Every structure is written in structure tokens, then in C-alpha cells.
Amino acid sequence: MEAADMGTDLQQVLISREEIESRLDDMAERIDADYAGEDLLLVGVLKGAVYVMADLSRRLRRSAPMDWMAVSSYGSGTKSSGVVRILKDLDTDLTGRHVLIVEDIIDSGLTLSWLLGNLSSRGAASVEIATLLRKPEAMKVEVDVKYVGFDIPNEFVVGYGLDYAEQYRNLPFIGLLKPEVYEN
């Protein structure tokens, strides 16, 4: 799916496919250097992080097993409720492992703050965060993020794993939807 396939739903392309690819290359290089010789486990947050996790992990120059969690604080809306529910837990024991949470986007930070505490309590050697996108203006709690692809404005974005009502995840770029698409 490309921008032209969205008809009149797209307001603008915010971050191109090429910009995403370049930034993921940079992030992978830093991760490789920072975790050299360490037992690293990538933990993706479903469903949005699928694209980021797949592309970031393929850029690493090391073996890095991955596991997945599904947590929800959104339901089908566009704003976080702040109440976190685990929909799918990890299959991997974190004891002694260096865990890198891979996220698509950080909005309020509420869900991620909860997730950091939860995973840290499981005996991990360390728990850090890598995210493709962060909205500094939307942050409600301070969350230390080790790897950030892009800081973006507090706008509703789709593409590259991010959705609106399960649509637009497969866009190869980050785009802004026209507000009339999601404000009905």
C-alpha cells in the first residue's frame, strides 16, 4: 500500500520509508555496540511493533532472540485509557537477560512505564526501550528511552505498524490521517 492507495484519507506523509530505513540502520548499529557480548532478548509489543521489530532485528549483526507481549490501554479508540491489560504474556524467562523492549510509538508513556516495572520485576539484568516514534508533548510520565527513531508532534499517525481501527498498519511510511477519518 502506498500513499496514492489511501485516496483522500491521507493528510500528509510525515516520515518516508527511506527515512525510517536509515534511522533503523543507525539504531541497530548502536544496539550492536551497546550489547556486544551480552545475552540480549528483544521484546516486541503487539501489534504495532511487528514492523519495527522485524526490520530492526534484521539489521542487527548478532543473534537476538525475540518474544512478544500484547498489552492494551487503547481499546479501539485513539487515546490511552491508562488502564493496562496483558492480553498475551511472554514465553521467555527474563532472569539474567538484557531485555530491549521494541515499540512502535510512545504517547503518554503510561503503558510503557507500567511495562518497564513489570519486566524489571521478573529478574532481568536490564530493561531498556527502543522506539521508532515518540511524542514528547503527549508524555504524562517520564520514561527513559535509550533508542528513539524520531520525535514527532502530538498528532494521530498511522503506518509502519500503527493503525486506526486496525487499518493502515501496512503503509511503508508514517502518515497523518485527515481528522475527519477518525473523529466521526
| Residues carrying an active site annotation | 107
How far apart, in whole angstroms, are the C-alpha atoms of residue 131 and residue 159?
14
Q: Residue 176, SS3?
A: strand
In this structure, what C-alpha cell is assigned to residue 126? 536490564
Residue type, 99: V
How far apart, in whole angstroms, are the C-alpha atoms of residue 17 and residue 171?
9
Length of the chain: 184
Give 84-122 as a DSSP string.
-EEEE--SS--TT-EEEEEEEEESSSHHHHHHHHHHHTT
